[in-house]
Amino acid sequence: MTEATYTVTGMTCDHCASSVTEEVSKLAGVSQVDVELSTGAVTVTSAAPLPAEQLREAVEEAGYTLSGA
């Protein structure tokens, strides 16, 4: 298991947070997604480290932007 924290910009409410959680949860190997709405921190627990590009695509699919990765 590995855990990594990313920063997502553009989330403003619980609905945003759940959209990101839903999309990121679809990625292979992801077992847990925790979103901290106030900071934009998204902590992802997965079986193996996620390729940054996959995470970026999932976040963009949800309609938000992955910051600084």
Query: What is the contact surface with Cu ion in residues (CB under 5 A)?
Result: 12-13, 15-16
In the complex, minimum distance from the CB of residue 16 to Cu ion, in angstroms, rounded to a whole number? 3
When the beta carbons of 10 and 29 are compared against Cu ion, the nearer one is 10
| Start-to-end Cα distance in the chain | 21
Phi, psi of 20 (to 5 degrees): -65, -45
DSSP alpha helix (H) spans, the chain: 14-25, 52-62
When the beta carbons of 13 and 28 are compared against Cu ion, the nearer one is 13
3-state secondary structure of 54: helix
What is the token pair recorded at 11?
């989330």
When the beta carbons of 27 and 37 are compared against Cu ion, the nearer one is 37
In the complex, minimum distance from the CB of residue 2 to Cu ion, in angstroms, rounded to a whole number? 28
In the complex, minimum distance from the CB of residue 51 to Cu ion, in angstroms, rounded to a whole number? 27
